[in-house]
């Protein structure tokens, strides 16, 4: 249905737009356009595919879980819902296998992450699961963990050879996604965000993009979005910089300033949902720009409620079922303990908006009962 409605709106096709840029300090904007390409109707068709999603089932068989394993779950920061839900999933999965599990809150501080890895080693952990922590940020402790023979699983994280080509990889393994590695999957995530923006604006998306490179995953999301937007001759993208520490009043101020500098912006694309409730929604309302469409990310409960209620701040997102990722991380660890290769998790890409894939309540939910399927494969109940 969306395809039929939007194709009619796209009859005018993609227009053209000149590049412009603002030079200056950290809050300057820069824009880029590229000639020639995206057929808006093709974007609508692609979005329809993303509404259906690319998910497949997780593995149906698994080796018997070894008993008595001691596993540490190190989170980038439990204050982020994406992280706390993933760690909760991993914790429940580990306990279902009869393992001892310890949750460690990294508090968004690389020095604390490193301390968590060292504490796990001191506790003689058999395995460590890292969530949202790239290898290069904790390289020293990971080298020590490898020497100690500890299995390290990275989830939503990039290994050292990915962040710094030529360096030695230090993760034992990472869950696989339908689109391939985490890096390939998260870049496709950004492409999906951009495709929704192109489709919804009839190929005339003037995107305001808050930019950060604190974690390489954010860089890859942006790279995916840029690839799609630069194919669209009627689209442009402008940037303003932020840091995760800005979440709150500083992010609101930076967003209001960027909206003022970019009065024609009609879409925002965000790398994480917590930005909406920590400054972006308030900035849009306070600036009188509630008409700006917002493509968010993982699908936190408060953001889903905004979409359902039609409130400014969020109109769509690309779901990340982080509890599923926690289960996938534990399944990967189990297989490494058993001397087997990781199995594909089945986690793919799916867009949600007001008409598609909204849960009855709570956060975005994967279109697969992954928890029951994993437990059946592991031979556990409850």
Give the architecture-level CATH label for domain 70-172. Answer: 3-Layer(aba) Sandwich (3.40)
Residue extents of the structural domains in the chain: 2-54+183-318, 70-172
Handedness of CA 25, 26, 29, 33 (dihedral sign): positive
What pLDDT is recorded for position 26?
36
Query: Which alpha helices (H) appear in the chain, and where do they start and end?
Result: 2-9, 40-52, 81-96, 110-122, 139-147, 160-163, 182-200, 216-229, 249-261, 274-275, 281-286, 301-309, 322-337, 370-378
Give the architecture-level CATH label for domain 2-54+183-318. Answer: 3-Layer(aba) Sandwich (3.40)
> What pLDDT, in 10s, does the model give residues 172-189?
999 999 999 999 999 999
Handedness of CA 366, 202, 295, 313 (dihedral sign): negative
> What pLDDT, in 10s, does the model give residues 213-230?
988 999 999 999 999 999
Q: Do domains 2-54+183-318 and 70-172 have the same CATH topology?
A: yes
> What pLDDT, in 10s, does the model give residues 3-43?
333 333 333 333 333 333 333 333 333 333 333 344 688 89
Q: Does residue 68 or residue 1 have the better pLDDT?
A: 68
- Whether the pLDDT of residue 170 is over 60: the answer is yes
- Whether the pLDDT of residue 152 is over 90: the answer is yes
What pLDDT is recorded for position 137?
95
Burial (Cβ within 10 Å: 0-12, 13-18, ≥19) of residue 346: buried
> What pLDDT, in 10s, does the model give residues 194-212?
999 999 999 999 999 999 9
> What pLDDT, in 10s, does the model give residues 50-59?
999 999 999 9
What pLDDT is recorded for position 74?
98
- Whether the pLDDT of residue 237 is over 70: the answer is yes
Average pLDDT estimate for 350-365: 95
CA distances from 126 to 5, 120, 133, 140 (A): 55, 9, 19, 18
> For the chain, what percent of residues have pLDDT higher than 90?
84
Average pLDDT estimate for 136-158: 97
What pLDDT is recorded for position 294?
98
What pLDDT is recorded for position 268?
98
């Amino acid at each position: 249905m969306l395809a039929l409605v939007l194709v009619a709106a796209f009859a005018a096709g993609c227009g053209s737009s000149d590049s412009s840029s603002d030079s200056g300090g950290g809050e300057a904007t820069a824009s880029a356009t590229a000639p020639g390409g995206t057929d808006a109707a093709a974007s609508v068709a692609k979005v329809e595919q993303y509404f259906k999603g690319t998910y497949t089932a997780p593995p149906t068989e698994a080796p018997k879980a070894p008993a008595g394993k001691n596993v540490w779950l190190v989170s980038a920061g439990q204050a982020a819902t994406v992280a706390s839900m993933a760690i909760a999933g991993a914790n429940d999965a580990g306990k279902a296998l009869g393992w001892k599990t310890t949750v460690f809150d990294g508090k968004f501080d690389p020095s604390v992450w490193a301390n968590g890895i060292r504490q796990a080693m001191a506790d003689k952990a058999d395995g460590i699961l890292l969530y949202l922590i790239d290898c290069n940020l904790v390289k020293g402790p990971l080298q020590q963990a490898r020497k100690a023979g500890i299995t390290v699983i990275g989830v939503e994280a990039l290994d050292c050879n990915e962040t710094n080509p030529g360096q030695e990889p230090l993760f034992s393994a990472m869950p696989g996604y339908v689109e391939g590695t985490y890096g390939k999957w998260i870049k496709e995530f950004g492409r999906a965000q951009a495709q929704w923006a192109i489709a919804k604006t009839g190929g005339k998306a003037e995107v305001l993009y808050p930019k950060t490179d604190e974690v390489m995953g954010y860089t890859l999301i942006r790279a995916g979005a840029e690839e799609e937007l630069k194919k669209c001759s009627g689209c442009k993208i402008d940037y303003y910089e932020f840091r995760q520490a800005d979440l709150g009043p500083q992010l609101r101020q930076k967003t209001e300033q960027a909206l003022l500098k970019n009065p024609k912006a009609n879409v925002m694309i965000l790398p994480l949902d917590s930005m909406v409730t920590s400054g972006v929604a308030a900035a849009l309302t306070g600036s009188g720009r509630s008409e700006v469409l917002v493509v968010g990310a993982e699908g936190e409960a408060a953001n889903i409620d905004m979409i359902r209620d039609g409130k400014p701040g969020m109109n769509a997102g690309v779901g990340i079922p982080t509890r599923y990722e926690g289960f996938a991380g534990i399944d990967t660890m189990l297989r490494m303990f058993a001397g087997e290769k990781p199995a594909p998790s089945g986690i793919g890409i799916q867009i949600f908006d007001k008409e598609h894939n909204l849960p009855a309540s709570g956060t975005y939910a994967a279109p697969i009962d992954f928890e029951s399927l994993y437990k059946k494969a592991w031979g556990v109940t409850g």
